[in-house]
Structure 1
Amino acid sequence: MNIQAINEHLLRAIGVGVAVLRASDMTFIFHNGPFAEWFGKPEPGQTLPDVLPGLDLKELEDVKQSGLRYSAELQIKPKRRTLIFATTVSLANGVDEQLLVVECQNITRIRELESMIDSYSTMVERNTRELEREKERVERLLLNLMPRAVYEEFKTFGVVTPQLYDNVSVVMLDFVGFTDFTARTDPTVTLSELNDIFTAFDRIVEQFGCERIKTIGDAYLAVSGMPDETPDHATAVAHCAVRFLRYLERRNESHPHKWQARIGLGTGAAVGSVVGIQKYVYDVFGPAVNIASRLQVFANPMHIVAPEEMKYALIDEFQITDLGPVDIKGMGKMDLINVTSRLSTPQKTRMF
């Protein structure tokens, strides 16, 4: 760097701190106003390391020997605020003696902006992760309230079109003596028991490709054949019903609280849709649901009752016992059957 280049540096030095030093002892020959404002006016005999102690002495020696530029970032704290300076030291050639030119630029604001951008990016990433986790929680919640196909329609369009399904089967379970049980049992125990049982039922329902629609107190309702058509919907709900009772029997062997249930099956048409606007829930209505609901009342404890029209769909896989005609409220006389697993010994049944 020659004298002309040094002069050009000085002309460009508005807002930049510049100092010129003898390379031999690194004492100051010149410094401009910004340099003195930031680092203090060098006293006679002071060297560059005295004024800027953050510089690497070995690097400064390398500048004198090799002529390469040395760049560093220095921090000073004249008051409460820390200032950051981009500092370069270079060798000036073409003069009577070797000179070092020091340029210091205040980059505090730049670093503050970079820090703000980094903090903002971190905050955005954190908020994005939180939103994703919240989205997953909402999705899991909605998938507990409605079948996935219905959820996808609801997510895409914001509404669910009521659908009529002509061929579905329904299983409705209700516990025997639940009111008395809740009256003499601590509520937390009751809820814990129901949670364990219904969780097991959910696994059984999923195993046979059915959909749990809802629980109402101690009642449990699941369907097969909606929203996706299922040719063997009748046997699917029957398998669920048999395994519900089998699970309760095995659970009763090792638990102090003994649970018994009545189960009704129904088949026919049903309508499925989301009910409500703010507190919405997926629900099903129709003949298949009504039949299952009414027939579970007519089942003996730990028995399964179904309409006779399901007989020929179930007879190959289940033990069927005719119960004869029964007058069903709102439906007239209906021939009913008792359904058990082929592994079970048929028990004598009576009608209520």
Structure 2
Amino acid sequence: MSISTINEHLLRAIGVGVAIVRASDMALIFQNESFTEWFGAAEGGPLNALLEGLEPDAVAGVLASGDRFAGEIRIKPKRRTLVIAVSISLAPAQEDPLLVVECQNITRIRELESMIDSYSTMVERNTRELEREKERVERLLLNVMPRAVYEEFKTFGVVTPQLYPEVSVVMLDFVDFTDFAARTDPTVTLGELNDIFTAFDRIVEQYGCERIKTIGDAYLAVAGMPDATPDHATAVAHCAVRFLRYLNRRNESHQHKWRARIGLGSGAAVGSVVGIQKYVYDVFGPAVNMASRLQIFANPGNIAAPESMKFALIDEFQITDIGTVAIKGLGDMELINVAANLQGSGAARPF
């Protein structure tokens, strides 16, 4: 077997088509089998007629500068479109320069690159969707539990129940809500509650409290947990005053009028996530029970609190004695009424 035959077999094995072109008239004077398979037998014919899609100035640039040209063309010898990488270089000869044309089928490479690009695009899209879903889940969980509790839950998968010895709780309940809900379209009722509770959430956030939950028309928020707050009593009192002020201003411009009773409680409480499949962060303990019981004894538009909170509130609020009241589960308690002190620092806040 001759050297030329061996070289031909090697070129065919690696998928390279080779042609030799006379520079003077662009006529093919040699082409191997791979080249013939792709472009047809055309020895003596012009190069441009075979390599359709080749840049017009490609050959002229090689002849003028001697630099190698590299590009791609697409052909369709049968039913399938092939991508051919074309390289043209100058091989000087004594009488007439020759051009060496090397062609390689890179269709599979381009298909793989396209698949990789498509896969990368899909991965990026799925990653963005997962990030958006993660953000939605995080916002949802932050609506039902404090951030510190959420961080613990995210890190460890569980939340350890915590006892907070000194917290204050505000509990609001609307007057005659059952009758209102019975005679009003449910969509209107839910819309009204959504507007009001959204405003309450802004007030609670303003004073560093944490909304724990809403139960129908009842609204419960706490100060002093999960982060300790020395002025937790005044924080919930400010929230209560602003709740009533907001309702009064809202009633002036809305068709439906809302009146509320508010109870304050202070003492110990336990906070933890309750449930396995449906997570709910809840608060239990004496402070919560006290606020829940005391709101019943508040007149509409008023705030009832235990006398034990009087010392913490007297500098910033108007305090009046209600008297001794027998409270279920708590016994006889001295209660006070808490109202805004129009000459105090609390009057400058919005709502």
**Most deviating of 318-327 and 119-128:** 119-128
- Summarize deviations over 1:299-343 as a string: whole Å, max 9, x none: 111110001111111111111110111111111111111110012
Deviations 1:283-314 (A, max 9, x none): 00000000000111111111100011111111
1:324 maps to what in 2?
323
Gaps of 5+ in 2: 344-351
- Residues 29, 44 of structure 2: 8 Å contact kept: no
Q: CA deviation at 1:45?
A: 4.5
The question of whether the paired residues in 1 share the 8 Å contact of 2:52 and 2:73 is answered with no
| 1:96–1:69 CA distance, 2 compared to 1 (3 A) | same
Deviations 1:162-198 (CA, angstroms, capped at 9, x unpaired)? 0000000000000011111111111111111111000
Residues of 1 paired with 2:181 and 2:19: CA distance? 88
Per-residue CA deviation, residues 42-81 of structure 1 (Å, 9 max, x unaligned), is 2x65211001121123220221233221111011123443
Partner of 2:116: 117
Query: 8 Å contact 1:171–1:264 — kept in the other structure?
Result: yes
Mapped partners of 1:126, 1:259: distance in 2? 47
1:209 counterpart = 2:208 = yes
Partner amino acid, structure 2, of 1:68: D
Contact kept in structure 2, 1:146 and 1:213, CA below 8 Å: yes
* Contact map agreement 1:265 1:307 (CA 8 A) in 2: yes
Moved more, 90-99 or 157-166: 90-99
Alignment of 1:70-219 (within 5 A): 70-94=69-93, 96-219=95-218
User: For 1:270 and 1:80, how far apart are their aligned partners in 2?
Assistant: 78
1:311 and 2:310 aligned: yes
| Structure 1 residue 32 displacement after superposition | 1.1
User: In the aligned structure 2, how far is the partner of 1:299 from the partner of 1:40?
Assistant: 99
Q: d(CA) in 2 for partners of 1:186 and 1:41?
A: 85
1:174–1:296: 8 Å Cα contact kept in structure 2? yes
Structure-1 residue corresponding to 2:62: 63
Q: Matched residue of 1:277: which SS?
A: coil
> In the aligned structure 2, how far is the partner of 1:56 from the partner of 1:304?
86
Aligned counterparts of 1:59 and 1:51: Cα–Cα separation in 2 = 14
Q: Structure 1: state its 5+ residue gaps.
A: 1-5, 345-352
Which stretch shows the higher mean deviation, 258-267 or 22-31? 22-31
CA RMSD of aligned residues (A): 1.8
Instruction: Point out 4+ residue stretches in structure 1 off by more than 3 angstroms.
Output: 6-12
- If the length of structure 2 is used for normalisation, what is the TM-score? 0.93
User: Does the CA contact (< 8 Å) of 1:10 and 1:18 recur in 2?
Assistant: no
SS of 1:272's partner is: strand
Q: Secondary structure at the match of 2:73?
A: strand
What does residue range 36-51 of structure 1 map to in structure 2 within 5 Å?
36-42=36-42, 45-51=44-50
Give the match for residue 261 of structure 1.
260
Deviates more, 1:319-328 or 1:68-77: 68-77
Per-residue CA deviation, residues 259-298 of structure 1 (Å, 9 max, x unaligned), is 0000000000000000001101100000000000011111
Cα gap change, 1:30 to 1:205, in 2 (>3 Å): same
Structure 2 equivalent of residue 348 of structure 1: none
Q: Could you tell me the percent identity over the aligned residues?
A: 76
Secondary structure of the corresponding residue to residue 116 of structure 1: helix
Q: Which residue of 1 aligns with 2:349?
A: none
If the length of structure 1 is used for normalisation, what is the TM-score?
Answer: 0.93
- Partner Cα distance (1:91, 1:72) in 2: 15
Distance in 2 (CA, whole Å) between partners of 1:321 and 1:94 is 114
Give the whole-Å Cα distance in 2 for the aligned partners of 1:79 and 1:330: 91
For 1:9 and 1:195, the matched residues in 2 are separated by: 82
Give the partner amino acid of 1:213. I
Give the letter aligned to residue 69 of structure 2.
Y
Say whether the 8 Å CA contact 1:173–1:221 is kept in structure 2. Answer: yes
3-state SS in 1 of match to 2:57: helix
SS in 2 for 1:57: coil
